[in-house]
Structure 1
Amino acid sequence: MQLAGGFAAASLAAAPIYRRAFAQGATPEATPEASPVIGGGADPQMQEVLDALVAFGAPPLSNVSPFAGRNLPSFRDAVQSVLAERGETIIEPVGGIEHILIPSLDGETELVARIYHPEGAGSDLLPVMVYFHGGGFVIANLNTYDASCRALANATGTIVASIAYRLAPENPFPTAVDDAYAATQFFMGGAGVVGGDPERVIVAGESAGGNLATVVCLRARDEGGMMPLHQVLVYPVTTFAPEGESLESIQEYANAIPLGAADLEWFGMHYLADPSDATNPYASPLLATDLSGIPPVTMIQAEIDPLQSQGTAYADALEAAGVTVSRTLYEGVTHEFFGMTTVVDKAAEAVAQVASEVNAALGS
């Protein structure tokens, strides 16, 4: 389902994401590069992963089709390469994994949810974390972010439900939003099917998944749906029309890996079939006129990340709207660091921080 082909590639001329910024002269090529790999500043553990990723010799994501992009080496492959060099194979054990099907919002299809049960769980109903993976709404899948879900399940003691929402360009905006909302409402009404407590449901996501996690809360508020107790937003995409403060890190880290400015443009081109959707608050929550009435937020940010500034701008906007936000910027790491707990110490620190704040929010 995730690797379906047969899409019609959109025209680059129609790409809305970051086009405004580049028109002002802040092109990736014009941005000074402090390092040939990421823009400088990575700590040694992070750099080891980046070197492994570069060693694959893959073409830039922005130079290939979405189907080809889904088959390029990922940060997960780089982590496995680092472990292999050490003669190690580390997969964090969990209490159990199962898969269930969830009806889509329109009832025309079913979505796969991979359910991670934490180690040592008893027979009591557990909180549920509805988790949305990253990948720019175009690439990646449940396997790509498996390590994050395992770590989160064990650290938080929650049942993590990782959702295989449909990808663009085969299913452009707002399909991913619809799928994420359907999954969230499903678990808030029926978490018991996986041994979960429907009264204790939170949402979480990385990158594009962070966008979906906060957007489902806005939509629940707007439509009178059931509201999660907490949001965990890990370097979230918050706008497809950045300017001012939200643009700064895009310029500073235009040439970063595993995510650079050209990649962001490529994702936006394929996710938003209609360029005018770039200002829709369900695509760009930073542009919402009202952010009040949604749950408290734990935000994790990476220093070497073009999304850093828009995450900061969103946190500022949430606080201005009266939403409680806890935010932490981890220095010396890049986009996608969160799932690298087996090789990057700061990833383990970030997961532990999320666990502490989630448990406080859940009263655990």
Structure 2
Amino acid sequence: MNRIKPSTLAASIALLSTTLVGLPAQAADDPAKPNPVAEAVAKTMGKLRADEDMLAVLNAQAGLKPKPIEKLDVATARKQPTVTDGVNAVLKQQGKSTKPEDLVPGVTSMDATVDGAAGKLPATVYTPEGAGPFPVVVYFHGGGWVIADRKVYDGGARGIAKQANAVVVSVDYRQAPEAKFPAAWDDALASYKWTLANAAKLKGDAKKVALAGESAGGNLALATAIAARDAGVQQPAHVLAVYPVTQTSLNTESYLENAVAKPLNRPMVKWFVDKTTRSPADLKDKRLQLIDAKLEGMAPGVTIINARIDPLRSDGSKLEDALKKANVPVERRDYEGVTHEFFGTAAVVQKAKDAQAFAGQRLKNAFGG
């Protein structure tokens, strides 16, 4: 099927999406079921705009019957099928292994703990083959600071370890609403400091430590670089931000265009933010409103990866502009035909393989390798 370019569809999609957001978000007879009209439009948009391999993952996840996150309590939301579950379903359909070590050979992993701001945090350490010492990447998973964990985001973290030939420390920071803003941000900085102090024990080079993250985790990576600068802590060698949250308005071009997109939509983001923040005042905090933060000197370079079918696409674009204005070297790539969460789907989605290779090369360049 030929995919229609967003440049052709953008105006009509934005109008239709914002109209649909005004409809009841669930069926009247069952609060757990999404509005059938909105669901139908979202599926049609996916068929028109998504690459076939990306669409296969979305369809596989949909086949697991996820409920609309924005209409659930937190405990139930955390049990919903993820894009990673969709990837595994596609792999099974293809008769392939779903074991992470088979999908990304040459990388081993072990569970560990790191020091957070208020106690120990679970983590996974990914190590490439060889004697080392390797560069190190501290990685933060996505999930809107509320759902998911490092295991859900194994594909992205493991892929970075492979492509960058680096040790990756993937951290489970505290989540909202149990630990509201700024708990996750405090944990992110603390885990970065812990990694600097313990890199050698992980076959890592403490002089070459970068930050990375996806979605909410991309925000944490960027905010941690700024916090490290302000605290006089060693500057990260690089920051890799994959479809990061960089501002708090829900009325950007991409939010309107992708208001009912899958797997992330506008109402879901509002749900995440409402669960994470303590009051509306937090929305003005520069750790969330990153585009208004002092960005000068935060890192020697930043890489931003965006997906075209994603409410957060404009966040990446706005951050790119802000970084350039602050004279921070930045390169951003916007991948056509894929959605939010695509980065960790490299086992079955070509654009994810491409994005991971690009990210790995950018990190290698930053590490001097």
Show CA shifts across 1:33-77 (max 9, x none): 794327340011111111111112221000101111110000000
What is the aligned-residue identity percentage? 38
- Say which SS state the counterpart of residue 117 (structure 1) adopts: strand
Whether contact under 8 Å (1:279, 1:287) holds in the other structure is: no
The one of 121, 140, 143 equivalent to 2:151 is 143
Q: CA distance change for structure 1 residues 36 and 100 in 2, over 3 Å: closer, same or farther? A: closer
The one of 110, 121, 126 equivalent to 2:130 is 121
Q: How does 1:219-234 map to 2 (within 5 A)?
A: 219-234=227-242
Q: Shift of the alpha carbon at 1:101? A: 1.9
Q: Does residue 333 of structure 2 align to residue 328 of structure 1? A: yes
What amino acid is the match of 1:255?
V
What amino acid is the match of 1:359?
K
d(CA) in 1 for partners of 2:229 and 2:347? 37
Whether contact under 8 Å (1:180, 1:212) holds in the other structure is: yes
Q: Does residue 57 of structure 2 align to residue 37 of structure 1? A: no
Q: How does 1:70-219 map to 2 (within 5 A)?
A: 70-90=78-98, 91=100, 92-105=104-117, 108-118=118-128, 120-122=129-131, 124-219=132-227
d(CA) in 2 for partners of 1:27 and 1:114? 42
Q: Does residue 61 of structure 2 align to residue 53 of structure 1? A: yes
Whether contact under 8 Å (1:252, 1:306) holds in the other structure is: yes
Q: Counterpart in 2 of 1:63?
A: 71
Q: Shift of the alpha carbon at 1:234? A: 0.3
Show CA shifts across 1:186-239 (max 9, x none): 112221121111100000000000000000011111222221110000000111
Q: Shift of the alpha carbon at 1:140? A: 0.4
d(CA) in 2 for partners of 1:207 and 1:138? 12
Q: Shift of the alpha carbon at 1:149? A: 1.6
d(CA) in 1 for partners of 2:57 and 2:174? 29
Q: Counterpart in 1 of 2:261?
A: 256
Specify which structure has the higher proportion of helix: 2
- Say which SS state the counterpart of residue 45 (structure 1) adopts: helix
Q: Counterpart in 2 of 1:294?
A: 298
Q: Counterpart in 2 of 1:276?
A: 281
d(CA) in 2 for partners of 1:338 and 1:241? 24
d(CA) in 1 for partners of 2:289 and 2:352? 27
d(CA) in 2 for partners of 1:227 and 1:354? 19
Show CA shifts across 1:82-138 (max 9, x none): 111111124323442222222222xx41112210001x222x311000000000000
Q: Counterpart in 2 of 1:22?
A: none
Q: How does 1:302-321 map to 2 (within 5 A)?
A: 302-321=307-326
Whether contact under 8 Å (1:94, 1:116) holds in the other structure is: no
d(CA) in 2 for partners of 1:278 and 1:316? 20
Whether contact under 8 Å (2:65, 2:81) holds in the other structure is: no
Q: CA distance change for structure 1 residues 63 and 193 in 2, over 3 Å: closer, same or farther? A: same
Q: Counterpart in 2 of 1:15?
A: none
Structure 1 unmatched runs, 5+: 1-24
What amino acid is the match of 2:126?
Y
d(CA) in 2 for partners of 1:146 and 1:89? 15
Q: Counterpart in 2 of 1:348?
A: 353
Whether contact under 8 Å (1:114, 1:163) holds in the other structure is: yes
Whether contact under 8 Å (2:262, 2:339) holds in the other structure is: yes
What amino acid is the match of 2:349?
V
- Say which SS state the counterpart of residue 259 (structure 2) adopts: coil
Structure 2 unmatched runs, 5+: 1-16, 24-36
d(CA) in 2 for partners of 1:131 and 1:36? 31
- Say which SS state the counterpart of residue 176 (structure 2) adopts: coil
Q: Shift of the alpha carbon at 1:26? A: 4.6
Show CA shifts across 1:245-276 (max 9, x none): xx110000000011000100000010112221
